[in-house]
């Protein structure tokens, strides 16, 4: 889970050939917005062009935020599976080739660690080696 550019860069630097899911904070679709998140991910990708990644924006239980994110170009969205509009948002996403997850996948919160520390870099690499293949979306072909 990334909250800032430095965290996204650290994740991409540690991603390896499998890539990484850059997941927003819970509910970020509502308070930060898709534009901010996509700009953060785009800049991190610009700085680490060889790293494969998927950007996942958490929209909590707000279908309006999820639809706005789809219009902005987000292709992986987290929307509470209990949300009454989940099916409609998932159908709209499918038409765009996007994916809506009914719950947050496991994520290492990089806001709670210092990505510049060596022990954090090792922890991040170990997390990515363990977690990426276990349910995160497959990184798209570039």
- Mind spelling out the 3-state secondary structure of 49-77? CCCCEEEEEECCCCHHHHHHHHHHCCCEE
pLDDT band at 134 (very low <50, low <70, confident <90, very high): very low
Instruction: Confirm if 53 and 139 have CB atoms less than 8 A apart.
Output: yes
Give the percent of the chain with pLDDT over 90.
Answer: 68
Bigger pLDDT: 27 or 120? 27
Name the DSSP letter for residue 107: -
Model confidence at 3: pLDDT above 80 = yes
Model confidence at 141: pLDDT above 80 = no
């Amino acid at each position: 889970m990334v909250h800032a550019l430095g965290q996204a860069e650290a994740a991409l630097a540690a991603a390896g050939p499998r890539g990484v899911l850059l997941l927003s904070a819970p509910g970020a679709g509502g308070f930060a917005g898709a534009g901010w998140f996509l700009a953060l991910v785009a800049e991190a990708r610009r700085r680490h062009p060889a790293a494969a990644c998927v950007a996942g924006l958490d929209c909590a239980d707000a279908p309006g935020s999820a639809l706005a994110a789809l219009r902005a170009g987000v292709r992986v969205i987290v929307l509470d599976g209990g949300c009454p509009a989940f099916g409609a948002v998932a159908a709209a996403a499918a038409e765009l080739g996007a994916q809506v997850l009914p719950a947050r996948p496991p994520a290492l919160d990089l806001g709670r660690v210092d990505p510049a520390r060596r022990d954090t870099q090792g922890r991040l690499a170990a997390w990515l080696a363990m977690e990426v293949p276990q349910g995160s979306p497959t990184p798209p072909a570039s």
